[in-house]
Structure formats: C-alpha cells, structure tokens
C-alpha cells in the first residue's frame, strides 16, 4: 500500500521527546536536523553532513561501552562496562550525554534547545563528570575524545582557491564561474565557493577524499594540446594554427558531447512538466532545510519509526547512514575542486555567445531558485545530490536487506511560481532506488547539473556507501573484518546497471 504524506509533513517530521529509550537516537537526530535548518548561514551540505556524522558516531561510541562486542571508533574497548549494566536506561543516558556535548560544540547557539531535551529526559545537562563507571561520564568522555579528534580534521582549513573565470572575463569554458546573485544584477555580489577545502577533511571510512575520484567530465576541445580564447573567440591548434570558433569546428576541434550535454539541459528546461517542476523543487534542499544529506536521514527516521526500532537497531542504522553521507560530502567536494567544472548556466550562456548553440540561450536561467543563486556556489562535477542520495540509498538497502521504501508526498503548488501548477502533484517512491534516481534527475530539471555529473555522482556515492558500511561493521564486530553478503564488485555494480537500465527506459 502506498504511503502518501504531505510535503510539509515530510519536511518537518519530528519525534516528540520521550523518556522511552527506544526513541533517543531519533530524538537527537531530529535535534541535529533542526539545528542545521535554523543555521543556514553557517552550514551547507558539507558542514551539515559532518555534524550528522559526528553526532551518530558519538552516540555509537557511548553505546558501544555497554555492548560486549562492538568497540568505540576512538577508544576501542577502553570504556567497556560489565554486561550486568547493559540495559536500555544506561545506554539511553550515555548516548544522550554524548549527543548533547557534541551538538553543543557544533551548534553553540542551539544549546538551550539541546538542554531542554536533556531536561525533558530527566538528565542534568550541567553534569560534567568524567567518571567512566557512570553513563554520564562515559558520554562526556567519548564526546570530548571525538571532538578533540574532529577539531583537527581539516574541516576549518583556509583555502587559497581563486576562480579562473568571472562573469565578465571568461577564460576557460570548462571551469566554474562564480555568478552574481541574482545572475544578471551586475552590481550584486559574487558567489563564494562553499568549503573548497572539504576534499581534504579526514573521512570516517574512506582512505582519503580521492579514493573514488571519478573520470574527467567532458572537455570542450577534442585535442588536449589545443587551447581556446573565449574573448577573441578563437582556437589555437597544437601546430599553432589559429581558427575562429564556429559550428563548423564541432567534431573537428570542438567536442560534440560538450555541446550535447548543454543542449540536453536546455531541452529539459524548455519542456518541464508540473511533475518535473515539483521534483526539482522537492529535492532542492537549499538553505533553511536539512540539505541533501538530511533528506536521507529523514528516510532513515521513517524506516525506524515504521519498523518500531529498538534503541540498538536505531544506532546500528544511523551510525553507518550518517557517516556514509559525511564521507560522500568529502569525496564529492574533492572531485569538485579537482575538476573545477563549469555549471550549465554559464556553459549554456557562453556557447550561445559563441554561436555554438541557439543564440536565444545567451540569457538562459535555471528553473531552480530562478530569483536567487543561479546555481549552488561550487563547481558542477560531480553532483552532490546524486552522491548523497546514492550513498544513503545504498546503506538503507544494506541495513534493511531490501530496496523497499514505500513513501511519497503530495505537493499542492509550486514554491517558485505560486499558482502555476494545474493540480497538486503526488510523488511516490516504491524503492530507495526510485528515490535515488529522482533526486539525481531533479538537478537536471533544475538546470544546475549535466547528466554525467548526475550519473558519476551516483556511482561515487554508492562506492562510498558500501565502503562506509563495511567500516561501520568493522567497529560493530569488535574490530574484526567479517565478509558481508555484498561487495563493491557485486551490489554496487548491480545497482549501477539497474540505474542505467531505468534511465534508458525513462528516455524511451
């Protein structure tokens, strides 16, 4: 049976605080989501994903002290308590103290909200004991240890990034251009690259941010020894010959695939249905939301509530899920900086100015956030939405042993253009894969990604999801590597093949 809930409900799911231990993990996850939503100027998808990962790791580390086999990610089994103390009350308390400490460190302006939840539980948020024979002390110690490590994880590094292009001085059509906000207001400020250093952040489960770096995106020129002068509209071939840029050079000097990917975005943008517009808006996940990684934590909350999870089941879900999202942000941002690839809005405008596509597109605007940021403030390749969604879906498939999701939303009208929908639009995802595909394609509907950025972002996310799942099992299994029923060479390739088939079917 389909479960359809309203858009506003899905985006504001909250779990009322309870002294019942079974909901503690969900309560604190919701607190983190709310804190991110209330602090858009100091977060963004990368910073939000790190907060989600730290929270779940802190709760897991505290929980592991009362479990016989699992070990902490930072302290091993140094805090191990006797099994006579392994009960829901102790675990709920120690996890709450750990969660409170790390969230207060990450979001100091939200301390009153977090303290209020502690008080509702009957806990004293001012108890700073480090007595590791008590739940409070264990929670405080694991939080302090984790935060000490994370304060030096390169997340606060300064960056020396300088953009190659400006809107008025294009140098390389394949490189990212910070746009005016709004795009055609030349007196307005330019975008600033959000966390360009993020690929250097220490991951949870990956070896480093470049472990799964994808192949390069489409180049503008077929010969990598040639160069283009966008101001003078010429190409200098490797032999020194200079030719004027024209459509006649497509397939000779100019890469036809580079042109085709831009024309695909134009074609999609010109023919959006109400459903496609609703998809672009639903998955936007911009400032003032939980951001893309938070969207998948919402799905996790839905699964936990629907399946009546115990406290143990909740932490065994959110520990790998949150960290898969965290590591995906690192891997995606590593690729974004490495390739520094241009967004469709600038490529389309430049190609139109050069006469390589319909010149009417010289003023192309994106459907997504048309009156604000013309595109997110960082390079295109690969898609963060596609990566976060693929990683989240992969972990949820592995945890549940199924692809079934079975939820949906009804969207009453457009947020961007109120009154424009002819009737409400219902979106439904039978499977995690359905939601993953839709999240990725939403970025093409929004006009802010190319198809390759979407597809390769999904491959990256699934690889990260599988790797983090295995790393989380390492800790849960007491530091032993135990073969899982799926591997990167198995489940990831299977899902990749399924996605290609589905996209082919959708295009037919």
CA distance 158 to 259: 35
Please state, in angstroms and as integers, the Cα–Cα distance from residue 181 to each residue in 174, 288, 349, 369, 415, following that order: 21, 17, 16, 11, 19
Average pLDDT over residues 230-234: 97
Residues 6+ apart with CB under 8 A from 199: 209, 210, 330, 331, 333, 334, 335, 336, 337, 338
Tally Cβ neighbours within 10 Å of residue 211: 17
DSSP structural state of residue 68? S
- Pairing mode, strands 404-411 and 425-431: antiparallel
Average pLDDT over residues 193-215: 98
Residue 125 has a pLDDT of 98
> When comparing pLDDT for 228 and 507, which is higher?
228
Q: φ and ψ at 418, to 5 degrees?
A: -55, 135
- End-to-end CA, the chain: 28
Average pLDDT over residues 60-71: 98
pLDDT at 75 over 50: yes
Laid out side by side, the sheet with 404-411 consists of 4-6, 404-411, 425-431
- Pairing mode, strands 242-244 and 234-236: antiparallel
Contact status, residue 314 vs residue 301, Cβ threshold 8 Å: no
Q: Nearest to residue 251, comparing CAs of 217, 221, 218, 219?
A: 221
CA distance 141 to 394: 32
CA distance 89 to 305: 20
- Pairing mode, strands 404-411 and 4-6: parallel
CA distance 252 to 223: 9
> When comparing pLDDT for 507 and 111, which is higher?
111
Digit-coded pLDDT (tens) for 91-104: 999 999 999 999 99
Q: φ and ψ at 4, to 5 degrees?
A: -105, 125
Domains of the chain: 1-158+166-215+262-474 (1.10.606.20), 221-254 (no CATH)
Residues 6+ apart with CB under 8 A from 429: 405, 406, 407, 408, 435, 438
pLDDT at 10 over 80: no
Digit-coded pLDDT (tens) for 275-316: 999 999 999 999 999 999 999 999 999 999 999 999 999 999
Residue 369 has a pLDDT of 75
Instruction: Dump strand ranges (E) for 168-231.
Output: 227-229
Average pLDDT over residues 56-82: 98
Residue 120 has a pLDDT of 95
Residue 205 has a pLDDT of 98
Q: Say how far residue 3 (Cα) sits from the centre of its chain.
A: 25
CA distance 508 to 172: 35
> When comparing pLDDT for 345 and 41, which is higher?
345
pLDDT at 508 over 50: no
Which of 32-41, 148-157, 486-495 has the lowest average pLDDT? 486-495
Residue 41 has a pLDDT of 87
Residue 495 has a pLDDT of 55
Digit-coded pLDDT (tens) for 139-191: 999 999 999 999 999 999 888 999 999 999 999 999 999 999 999 999 999 99
Residue 370 has a pLDDT of 65
CA distance 121 to 114: 11
CA distance 73 to 150: 12
Q: Name the average pLDDT for the chain.
A: 92
Digit-coded pLDDT (tens) for 330-385: 999 999 999 999 999 999 999 999 999 999 999 999 998 766 678 999 999 999 99
Local confidence band at 262 (pLDDT 50, 70, 90 cut-offs) = very high
Residue 20 has a pLDDT of 66
DSSP structural state of residue 5? E
Digit-coded pLDDT (tens) for 127-137: 999 999 999 99
Average pLDDT over residues 461-470: 99
Local confidence band at 483 (pLDDT 50, 70, 90 cut-offs) = low
Tally Cβ neighbours within 10 Å of residue 223: 13
Digit-coded pLDDT (tens) for 413-454: 999 999 999 999 999 999 999 999 999 999 999 999 999 999
Q: HSE-up of 291 (CA within 13 Å, CB side)?
A: 30
Per cent of the chain over pLDDT 70 is 90
């Amino acid at each position: 049976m389909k479960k359809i809930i309203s858009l506003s409900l899905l985006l504001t799911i909250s779990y009322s605080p309870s002294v019942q231990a079974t909901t503690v993990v969900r309560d604190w996850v919701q607190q983190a989501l709310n804190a991110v939503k209330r602090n858009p100027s100091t977060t963004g998808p990368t910073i939000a994903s790190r907060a989600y990962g730290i929270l779940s790791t802190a709760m897991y580390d505290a929980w592991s002290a009362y479990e016989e086999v699992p070990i902490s990610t930072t302290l091993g089994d140094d805090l191990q308590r006797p099994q006579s103390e392994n009960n829901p009350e102790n675990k709920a308390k120690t996890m709450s103290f750990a969660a409170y400490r790390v969230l207060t460190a990450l979001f100091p302006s939200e301390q009153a909200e977090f303290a209020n939840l502690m008080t509702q539980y009957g806990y004293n948020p001012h108890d700073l004991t480090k007595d590791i024979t008590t739940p409070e002390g264990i929670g405080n110690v694991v939080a302090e240890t984790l935060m000490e490590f994370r304060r030096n994880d390169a997340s606060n590094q300064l960056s020396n990034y300088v953009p190659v292009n400006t809107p008025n001085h294009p140098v390389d059509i394949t490189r990212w251009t910070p746009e005016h906000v709004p795009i055609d207001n030349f007196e307005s400020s330019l975008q600033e690259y959000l966390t360009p250093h993020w690929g250097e952040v220490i991951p949870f489960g990956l070896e480093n941010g470049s472990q799964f770096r994808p192949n390069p995106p489409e180049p503008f020129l077929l010969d990598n020894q040639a160069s283009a002068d966008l101001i003078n509209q010429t190409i200098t071939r490797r032999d020194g010959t200079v030719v004027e840029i024209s459509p006649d050079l497509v397939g000779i000097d100019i890469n036809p695939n580079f042109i085709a990917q831009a024309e695909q975005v134009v074609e999609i943008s010109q023919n959006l249905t109400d459903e496609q517009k609703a998809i672009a808006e639903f998955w936007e996940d911009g400032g003032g939301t939980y951001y893309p990684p938070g969207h998948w934590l919402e799905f996790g909350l839905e699964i936990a509530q629907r399946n009546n999870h115990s406290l143990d089941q909740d932490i065994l879900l959110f520990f790998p899920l949150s960290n898969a999202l965290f590591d995906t942000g690192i891997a995606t941002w590593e690729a974004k900086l490495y390739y520094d690839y241009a967004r469709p809005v600038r490529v389309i405008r430049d190609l139109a100015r050069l006469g390589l596509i319909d010149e009417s597109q010289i003023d192309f605007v994106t459907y997504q956030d048309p009156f604000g940021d013309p595109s997110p403030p960082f390079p295109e390749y690969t898609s963060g939405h596609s990566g976060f969604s693929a990683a989240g879906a992969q972990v949820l498939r592995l945890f549940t042993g199924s692809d079934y999701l079975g939820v949906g939303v009804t969207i009453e009208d457009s947020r961007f253009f109120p009154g424009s929908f002819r009737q409400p639009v219902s979106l439904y995802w039978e499977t995690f894969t359905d939601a993953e595909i839709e999240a990725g394609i939403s970025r093409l509907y929004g006009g802010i990604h190319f198809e390759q950025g979407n597809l390769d972002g999904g491959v990256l996310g699934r690889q990260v999801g599988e790797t983090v799942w295995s790393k989380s099992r390492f800790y849960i299994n007491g530091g032993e590597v135990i073969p899982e029923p799926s591997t990167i060479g198995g489940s990831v390739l299977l899902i990749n093949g399924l996605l290609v088939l589905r996209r082919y079917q959708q295009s037919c």
